[in-house]
Structure 1
Amino acid sequence: MTTLLHIDSSVFPGERSASRTIANAFRQAWQDQHPEGVVIHRDLAADPVPHITADAWSAGHTAPDERTPQQVAAFAARLRLIDELEEADAILIGAPMYNFSIPSTLKAWLDAVLLPGRTAGEKPSVAGTPVVVVASRGGSYAPGTPREGFEFVQNYLEAVLKNTLRLDLDFIVPELTMAPRNPAMADLVPLYEASRTRAFEEATVKARDLAKRLAA
């Protein structure tokens, strides 16, 4: 039995969120391949992870028998999230771009699960686990575009997910999601529609391929 850990971080619900919509398509295709599988869904907008505190951080660098009661309580919350991450066979993350970066709720989750000596370091416990990130954005930050230099979502997540946690990282990038709602972007609507269609197709194909790979 396989387990998919699904993390959403968009502040918008349902169809109002591009990242949620595309991620749901991935999840559905995954469940079609694994009807008996387990999906653990964390909605970081509805149920935010506490931002890292001094107790939660320092507990990870303190021997268990030397932790204060406050450190023990704060670290327990981190351990629940780390356990979920380690038990997952695959990870799906919705990461919309807000002000050129990821939502603070997703950053809080990453701060909680990144633990040197366990999930990070010489032998990360989650190394090799596949993770697909739906990195939606209102405009385009692709190479060659005017705002290429403002792309801090994929660059940051590569540093954390791929280079630090050593996950097997893949992206789906729906672009120009503001075009239908912003009159100044009206000419870009066809490009938005093409990007959205491509993102749905990638979500279905990547989910099926990954499910088959893990089942082999």
Structure 2
Amino acid sequence: MSLFRLDASIMPATSASRALGDLVEQAWAQATPEPQVRRRDVGTSPIPADLWAAAVTEGFTPEAERTDLQRRGRALATALADELLEADALLLTVPLYNYGVSQHVKTWFDLAYADPRIGPGATGLAGTPAVLVTVLGGSYAPGTPKDGWDHSTGWLERALRDVWGLDLEVVQRDLTLAHANPAMAQLRPLADERQAAAEEQAAVAGERLARAMAGARA
């Protein structure tokens, strides 16, 4: 059984999102016969932003007039869609950057979405089991000073669950900067609790992902 994993952190050595993703993957692999993982790291190997427009306009351009950039854009859009469609399950680890969606993830989504098999109105990914791991440096929960400032998680859920139709579970950890930021020192005990809870949820999510895959194959 195969898992497609997307990572988006620009600092892999210290990435909290990758660490949580590792726990999901480990639990999944332990419960899966002959596990296979295909990876794409858009944090360290970003997709060129100009390829999306090239892929979109390629379809409206006569073949003889298409540019090399358009052909590269279409080819990569096809490859990105293939990675998703050929997987039995998906794992995406995405940190919150500057209160919004990582530009690397948005570029990846836009280009993949240019493929008609998973583009507007398509149902090629409907029902695919998936886990989204997302981490937040602070807290943006109701009642906090920055309530509502997380403009990433909601968009990701909308794109993955509602647009692509994935059977999605979200694993989230907040307050990841508490031990690095002196101004958040009073939040460190709470941050430790949130970390432990997220790690436990990640392991359970991996096991559920394996069961969902097994059920789909049965």
TM-score by length of 1: 0.91
Residue in structure 2 matched with residue 40 of structure 1 by the alignment = 38
Q: Cα–Cα, structure 1 residues 57 and 136, in superposed 2: closer, same or farther, change >3 Å?
A: same
1:202 equivalent in alignment to 2:186 = no
Residue in structure 2 matched with residue 83 of structure 1 by the alignment = 82
Give structure 2 stretches of 5+ with no counterpart. Answer: none
Secondary structure of residue in 2 paired with 1:95 = strand
Task: Trace 1:25-104 onto structure 2 (pairs within 5 A).
Answer: 25-53=23-51, 54-59=53-58, 61-62=59-60, 65=63, 68-70=66-68, 71-104=70-103
Residue number among 1, 6, 21 corresponding to 1:23 in the alignment:
21
Q: Cα–Cα, structure 1 residues 152 and 66, in superposed 2: closer, same or farther, change >3 Å?
A: farther
Residue in structure 1 matched with residue 186 of structure 2 by the alignment = 187
Give structure 1 stretches of 5+ with no counterpart. Answer: none
Q: Cα–Cα, structure 1 residues 179 and 88, in superposed 2: closer, same or farther, change >3 Å?
A: same
Shift, 1:108, TM fit: 1.1
Task: Trace 1:138-149 onto structure 2 (pairs within 5 A).
Answer: 138-149=137-148
Q: Which moved more, 1:47-56 or 1:151-160?
A: 47-56
- Give the aligned residue type for 1:123: A
Q: Cα–Cα, structure 1 residues 123 and 79, in superposed 2: closer, same or farther, change >3 Å?
A: closer
Secondary structure of residue in 2 paired with 1:7 = strand
Residue in structure 2 matched with residue 106 of structure 1 by the alignment = 105
**CA contact 1:52–1:111 (8 Å) conserved in 2:** no
**CA contact 1:100–1:150 (8 Å) conserved in 2:** yes
- Give the aligned residue type for 2:158: A
Alignment: residue pair count: 213
Task: Trace 1:131-170 onto structure 2 (pairs within 5 A).
Answer: 131-170=130-169
TM-score by length of 2: 0.90
Q: Which moved more, 1:116-125 or 1:2-11?
A: 116-125
Secondary structure of residue in 2 paired with 1:184 = helix
Find the aligned partners of 1:189 and 1:23 in 2 and give their Cα distance.
Answer: 22
Residue in structure 2 matched with residue 178 of structure 1 by the alignment = 177
Find the aligned partners of 1:164 and 1:64 in 2 and give their Cα distance.
Answer: 29
- Runs (4+) of structure 1 exceeding 4 A deviation are 63-67
Secondary structure of residue in 1 paired with 2:198 = helix
Provide, for residues 75-127 of structure 1, a one-character-per-residue CA deviation record: whole Å limited to 9, x for no partner.
10111111001111111111101100122111111111113742133332111
Residue in structure 2 matched with residue 211 of structure 1 by the alignment = 210
Find the aligned partners of 1:78 and 1:123 in 2 and give their Cα distance.
Answer: 15
Shift, 1:65, TM fit: 5.0
Find the aligned partners of 2:84 and 2:208 in 1 and give their Cα distance.
Answer: 21
